[in-house]
């Protein structure tokens, strides 16, 4: 099963290396990993998607938490969560196909962010499924480049209702 973990960590040199090294060394799988600043200065927030059964994911959480620089690990898989990914897609667009493509872009509430004589760059935000669907529809036109950020996640509403630390 796919799990989504949110980890908070001190923004110190080498922390990303510690995390990726841990996944490699313990033979854990990473489907996607995104990292950026959190609301607290000096603390980064990472969203990790990992595939594995409950025992493995429990190990992932505990081993992550064991890293000295990691301050908190939450498994949000079973929480009501907003999940988003951002993608930029550069698709071949001639005069003949351009309006058809922008039609699709509108349906997905995506945006055209760059127009060139023979291509369009599209920005889309949404769940991975939504990004996949648009990419599938655009593929026949010719996707020249695509970049996806990987999943970011945040629990809805008052996430203080349950103490999320794995510490016991």
Partner 1 sequence: MKLTGAQIVWESLVREGVEVVFGISGGAVIHLYHALPDYPIHHVLMRHEQAAAHAADGYARATGKVGVCMATSGPGATNLVTGIATAYMDSSPVVAITGQVATPFIGKDAFQEVDITGITLPITKHNYLVTDINELAMTIKEAFYIARTGRPGPVLVDIAKDVQAANIEYEYPEEVNLPGYHPTLIGHQRQIKQAAQLINAAQSPLVIAGHGVMLAGAEAELRELMEKAQIPVVNTLLGLSTIPEAHPLCLGMGGMHGEAYANKALQEADLLVALGSRFDDRLTGAVETFAPQAKIIHVDVDPAEIGKNVRVDLPVVGDLKNILQALIPLIEPANHPAWISKIGAWRVESAQRDILEQETDALIPQYVVRHIWHATGGNAIMVSDVGQNQMWEAQYFPHHKPRGLISSGGLGTMGFALPAAIGAQMGKPEEMVWATIGDGGFQMNIQELATVVQEKLPLKMAILNNGFLGMVRQWQQLFFEGRYSGTPLLGPDFAKVAEAYGIPGFTVREKSQVVPVVVQVMATDGPALIDFIIEQEENVYPIVKPGGSIGDMVRRPQPEEVKEGDSR
Binding site for partner 1 (CB under 8 A): 9-10, 13-14, 17-18, 21-22, 25, 55, 58-59, 62-63, 65-72, 166-168
Residues 130 and 111: their CA atoms lie apart, in Å, by: 14
Residues 107 and 104: their CA atoms lie apart, in Å, by: 5
Helix (H, G, I), strand (E, B) or coil at 141: helix
Using an 8 Å Cβ cutoff, are 153 and 77 in contact? no
Residues 109 and 125: their CA atoms lie apart, in Å, by: 8
Q: Which is nearer to partner 1, 40 or 94 (CB)?
A: 40
Rounded (10°) CA dihedral 43, 49, 51, 57: 30
Residue 9 half-sphere exposure toward CB, CA atoms < 13 A:
27
């Amino acid at each position: 099963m796919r799990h989504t973990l949110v980890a908070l960590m001190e923004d110190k040199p080498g922390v990303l290396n510690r995390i990726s090294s841990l996944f490699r060394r313990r033979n854990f799988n990473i489907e996607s990993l995104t990292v950026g600043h959190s609301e607290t200065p000096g603390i980064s927030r990472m969203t990790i998607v990992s595939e594995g059964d409950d025992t493995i994911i429990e190990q992932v959480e505990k081993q992550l938490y064991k890293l000295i620089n990691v301050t908190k690990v939450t498994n949000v898989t079973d929480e009501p969560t907003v999940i988003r990914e951002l993608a930029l897609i550069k698709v071949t667009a001639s005069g003949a196909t351009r309006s058809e493509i922008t039609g699709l872009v509108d349906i997905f509430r995506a945006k055209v962010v760059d127009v060139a004589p023979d291509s369009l760059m599209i920005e889309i935000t949404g769940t991975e499924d939504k990004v996949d669907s648009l990419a599938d529809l655009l593929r026949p036109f010719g996707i020249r480049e695509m970049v996806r950020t990987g999943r970011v996640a945040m629990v809805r509403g008052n996430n203080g209702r349950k103490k999320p630390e794995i510490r016991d």
